[in-house]
Structure 1
Amino acid sequence: MCLAIPVRIEALIDDERALADIGGLRKEINTALVENLKVGDYVILHVGYALNKLDPEEAARTLALFEELGQLQAARDAALEEGELSMEGKA
């Protein structure tokens, strides 16, 4: 399974590199596949490469879903630690 995530361009380094905000972290990414990027644009990021631009509203919806999934995972992990859930028989 592959996962691509929306990230916001924070700074342009050159024609093929930029700094992106990835969940509060800044990371250099490759932007060679996307034309006409500017600071503030959202792109879909996969294994360090920006694949295409993303509408800001769609990026916000997707990031909200990722946040919700993270909260669900944290609640599940806490329940497992407290013995409220069992992972027996789960693959």
Structure 2
Amino acid sequence: MCLAIPALLVEKRAQDQALVALGGIRKPISIALVPEAQVGDYVIVHVGHAIGLVDAEEAQRTLALFAQMAPTDETPQP
């Protein structure tokens, strides 16, 4: 199974590189597949590469679903 997640593009860098923010973490990624992406856009990130754009509303809905699935301290341990 593959997982791609929306992340906010916060900085464009040289040579198709960029910086995204997700949940307080900033991560460098490649935007070579989505050269039209601009700072402030949400991109879909898979294994360090932006593979598409997503509108902000859809990105927020997706991130909210991921947050609901996150384990809590109350989750029983096996």
Tell me which residue corresponds to 1:31: 31
What's the Cα RMSD here? 1.5
**Between the two proteins, what is the percent identity of the paired residues?**
47
For residues 43 and 79 of structure 1, the distance between their equivalents in structure 2, rounded to whole angstroms, comes to 31
- What do residues 19-64 of structure 1 show as CA deviations (whole Å, max 9, x unaligned)? 0002111111010000211110000000000000011100000000
Q: Structure 2, unaligned stretches of length 5 or more? A: none
For residues 23 and 53 of structure 2, the distance between their equivalents in structure 1, rounded to whole angstroms, comes to 17
Higher RCO (CA < 8 A, seq sep 6+)? 2
Larger Rg: 1
For residues 9 and 15 of structure 1, the distance between their equivalents in structure 2, rounded to whole angstroms, comes to 15
For residues 4 and 52 of structure 1, the distance between their equivalents in structure 2, rounded to whole angstroms, comes to 10
Quickly say closer, same or farther: Cα 1:25–1:79, change in 2 above 3 A. closer
TM-score normalised over the length of structure 2: 0.90
More strand by share: 2
| Aligned pairs, number | 78
TM-score normalised over the length of structure 1: 0.78
Amino acid at match of 2:47: V
Runs (4+) off by over 4 Å: none
Tell me which residue corresponds to 1:60: 60
For residues 15 and 41 of structure 1, the distance between their equivalents in structure 2, rounded to whole angstroms, comes to 18
More helix by share: 1
Deviation at 1:15, TM superposition (A): 4.3
Quickly say closer, same or farther: Cα 1:80–1:31, change in 2 above 3 A. same
Q: Structure 1, unaligned stretches of length 5 or more? A: 82-86
